Amino acid sequence: MRLHFRTDHEPYFLDSVAVIQAHPDWKIVSEPWPFEHLTVFQSRAALHHSLIASRRVGEA
């Protein structure tokens, strides 16, 4: 299971990173963004922040 998260609001992004990193069932992974379709919001934003998180399955 993957969570794909993107926002143009840096404080929201940083809070989201902190929540995911603190949760025992989730980890942020380094993977390429799997899809890229320019949205209306992206076209209006100067920049955006993205992350992909994965469920920790079977990790000890």
8 A C-beta contact, residue 38 and residue 46: no
* Residue 33, strand partner residues: none
User: What confidence score (pLDDT) does residue 59 get?
Assistant: 64
For the chain, 60 residues long, give each residue's pLDDT as a single digit of tens. 999 998 889 999 999 999 999 999 999 999 988 877 777 777 777 788 899 999 998 764
Q: How far apart are CA 18 and CA 1, in angstroms?
A: 19
| pLDDT for the residue 29 | 97
Any idea where the domains of the chain sit in the sequence?
Answer: 2-55
User: Residue 27's pLDDT is what?
Assistant: 97
Q: Is the dihedral of CA 8, 18, 20, 15 positive or negative?
A: negative
Q: Locate tokens 């069932």: which residue?
A: 25
